[in-house]
Amino acid sequence: MDPLVLIIVVAALVVFAVISTVRVVPQARRYNVERFGRYRTTLQPGLNFIVPLMDRINTKLDVREQVFSSAPQPVITEDNLVVNIDTVLYYQITDPRAAAYEVADYLAAIDQLTVTTLRNVIGSMDLERTLTSREEINAQLRSVLDDATGKWGIRVNRVEIKAIDPPSTIKEAMEKQMRAERDKRAVILHAEGERQSKILTAEGTRQQNILEAQGDQQAAILRADGEAKAVERVFQSVHKNNADPKVLAYKYLETLPSIANGQNSTFWVIPGELTQAVKSVTDAFGDYSKMGAPAGDGTGEGAPDEGAEADEVEAGESEATAEEATSGRELTAGEPALEAANVDEVAELAAAAVQDAKAEAKAAEGKGDRTIDENTR
């Protein structure tokens, strides 16, 4: 044999042996090695060596957490309703040897175990509880699956129910129920809103009335204080200036027409002091005329004339007083209360009495002036 060919064959055998001996395992992978058909070891990530022609790699497993989604499974609830439930499992291989040699197909085994466990759990619940108890169902499924898959070298980390689909008729009934519940809540919220609105409106009205009443009270107190101070000042002024009854009687007569002309006056009582007030005013103007007459030149010539004039003035005043008293008695002889139609007449009588008193006083003053002129001539 040619030596060169021999060398090439030996080199090829060496390369084949090296390639068959060296195995590189990626991270998060596990390789199960068999020697002559029997499990020997599990290769870890990194560089590994095996015996060519004697050892072989049987299974390659991924030890990362994986997700398995099962197909929708029909399940009967306690109230005999069929619902389709989808589940999602999160599992991880913890023992590559057990996962390869304890179960033939661990995914199919997990799927069937999930279905049977799910039917047992859902069969003890009605539809409403099934729809509202997902956390409880997940916990029971995880507990059963974790116990069963432990000997398979698999750990079930989480089990989640992806969907629960009831029959179409149940869906329609549920939609009607939900619509009715929403309408009920809307009506309740609307009623609560109206109730709160009325309560707030009543509270606002109450506060407004309280504030208005307090304002009216303060205003009335201030008005009363002002009127009291005004009356007090008038009283002090009258007493300080020592006003005599004649001035007060004159002011009294001036006030009577304004009282009678009030819009709200339906009747007016004629006081009994009317004639006395008229007489006081007349006397006041008569005294004033007497005070304005001259006292003469001291010779006594004008004395008879002054006496005559005084007698005439006193006679005129007496006649005026008698007329006023007669008119006063005529006014007061009837009913004490006059109706609204006679209010103007009473006011006119009072004003006429004042005017007559003033005219008589002026006439007496004029006569006194003429007497002085005659005496002078």
> What is the per-residue pLDDT across 144-156, written as a single tens digit (0 to 9) for each?
888 888 889 999 8
Domain boundary among 182, 214, 240: 240
Q: What is the pLDDT of residue 254?
A: 66
> Is residue 273 domain-shared with residue 354, that is, in the same domain?
yes
Rounded to an integer, the average pLDDT of 42-54 is 88
> Is residue 76 domain-shared with residue 49, that is, in the same domain?
no
> Is residue 156 domain-shared with residue 198, that is, in the same domain?
no
Rounded to an integer, the average pLDDT of 229-256 is 69
> Is residue 263 domain-shared with residue 334, that is, in the same domain?
yes
Q: 27-47: string of b/e by CB count within 10 Å (b at 16+)?
A: eeebbbbbeeeeebebbeeee
Rounded to an integer, the average pLDDT of 197-207 is 93
Q: What is the pLDDT of residue 79?
A: 86
Domain boundary among 222, 240, 258: 240
Rounded to an integer, the average pLDDT of 209-217 is 93
Q: What is the pLDDT of residue 260?
A: 60
Which of the four pLDDT bands, split at 50, 70 and 90, describes residue 203? very high
Residue 324 pLDDT > 70: no
> Is residue 221 domain-shared with residue 308, that is, in the same domain?
no
> Is residue 90 domain-shared with residue 192, that is, in the same domain?
no
- What are the residues whose beta carbons fall under 8 Å from the beta carbon of 148, sequence distance 6 or more? 113
Q: What tokens appear for 121 in the block?
A: 């759990």
Range of the domain at 228: 169-240
> Is residue 58 domain-shared with residue 76, that is, in the same domain?
no
> Is residue 42 domain-shared with residue 151, that is, in the same domain?
no
Q: What is the pLDDT of residue 150?
A: 86
Specify which of 175-179, 215-219, 332-336, 345-349 reaches the highest per-range mean pLDDT. Answer: 215-219
Kindly report the CATH number assigned to the domain that includes residue 114.
3.30.479.30
Residue from 91, 89, 100, 95 nearest 58 by CA: 100
Rounded to an integer, the average pLDDT of 284-308 is 45
> Is residue 261 domain-shared with residue 369, that is, in the same domain?
yes
Report the percent of the chain where pLDDT is more than 70.
64
3-class DSSP assignment, residue 174: helix
> Is residue 276 domain-shared with residue 364, that is, in the same domain?
yes
Q: What tokens appear for 162 in the block?
A: 């992806």
| Residue 121 main-chain phi, psi, to 5 deg | -70, -45
> Is residue 229 domain-shared with residue 335, that is, in the same domain?
no
> For the chain, how many structural domains are there in total?
4
> Is residue 215 domain-shared with residue 155, that is, in the same domain?
no
Q: What is the pLDDT of residue 376?
A: 54
Give kind and range of the element (H or E) at residue 268.
strand 267-269
Which of the four pLDDT bands, split at 50, 70 and 90, describes residue 172? confident
Q: What is the pLDDT of residue 329?
A: 40
Lowest mean pLDDT among 79-93, 116-130, 218-232, 309-323: 309-323
Q: What is the pLDDT of residue 271?
A: 55
Domain boundary among 240, 259, 293: 240
